[in-house]
Amino acid sequence: MFFCFFASFKIAFRMKNSIFLLVCICSFYTQAQIVNIESLRRVSDTSKWSGYTSLELSLIKNRNDIINVKNDIHIQYRNKKNLILLINKLDFKEANDDALVNKGIQHLRYNYAFKPKVSWEAFAQSQYDAISKISFRGLLGSGFRFTLWNNPKYKIFLGNLFMYEYEENKIDEERFYHRDFRGSSYLSCSLHPSDAVSFVSTTYYQPRLNNFEDYRLSNETSLALRIFKNLAFKSTFTYVYDAFPVEGIPNTQYKFTNGILYSFD
């Protein structure tokens, strides 16, 4: 399992809950293609709506003309047996008419806990990433989520799902189309050995079912260290490996960020 650390740039509003201001002080990244849904779940045993939204717009004129647009929406509803999760992420950065980042993801997921430690999941996802030459990728999937361990200090979840993937790639002016069935298994671990330390790690494995040599592997791990009562330092490392990426795209992509998190109720 790859060891990683968690952070992100945004002013986040959690409806009926805490407000988070995350100020990132250092980052280095490339584009990832697998969405870590586990990091976006809100833990709660009561019925409620929760979520956040952020919007960033900037126009910079110096020696370069730089445009930046970023939107992030996360809405979740949970009661004792049902969970509905909606995610929308858009990110666009352009310098002198050259796109540095141009990607977006929309994800809808439903969970039904028909047993205390077993849930059924179904999801739909659409995404695009111009830098990775993904004009469109659509996913439909379903499967089961198992609670292997759950107490206040240690939580371990295992997911085993089946999904259909439709993908369009654009290389120069030529388009390529892929229609595949893939597995999507994940292992998510959340460790809280003390009030001052939090460690969360999720690993995804997504093989093509008719060719297991064609697979994607990703991991996102976060480490949070509390500095004061409402102030913590967080680091995140995200790693993605694609055995058969689009032509011209590297097999390995990763992102590393460090940040300061201030939270208040």
Write the pLDDT tens digit of every residue in 6-31.
333 333 333 333 333 333 333 333 34
Number of domains in the chain: 1
91 domain residue, yes or no: no
Amino acid 161: pLDDT: 95
| Cβ within 8 Å of residue 74, ≥6 positions away | 40, 51, 52, 53, 85, 86, 87
93 strand-pairing partners? 68, 101
217 pLDDT higher than 70: yes
pLDDT band with cut points at 50, 70 and 90 for residue 234:
confident
Rg (CA), the chain: 19
Amino acid 124: pLDDT: 97
- 165: CATH: 2.40.128
Q: What is the pLDDT of residues 156-205, one digit of tens each?
A: 999 999 999 999 998 877 889 999 999 999 999 999 888 888 899 999 99
Q: What is the pLDDT of residues 99-154, one digit of tens each?
A: 888 899 999 999 999 898 999 999 999 999 988 889 999 999 999 999 999 888 89
102 strand-pairing partners? 92
98 domain residue, yes or no: no
Amino acid 221: pLDDT: 93
Q: Which domain holds residue 132?
A: 10-43+106-264
Cα 125 to Cα 191: distance, rounded to the nearest angstrom: 29
1 pLDDT higher than 90: no
Average pLDDT over the chain, rounded to an integer: 81
Q: How far is the CA of 89 from the CAs of 136, 146, 190, in angstroms?
A: 14, 27, 24
DSSP 54-121: EEEEEEEESSSEEEEEEEEEEEEEE-SSEEEEEEEEEEEEEETTEEEEEEEEEEEEEEEEEETTEEEE
115 domain residue, yes or no: yes
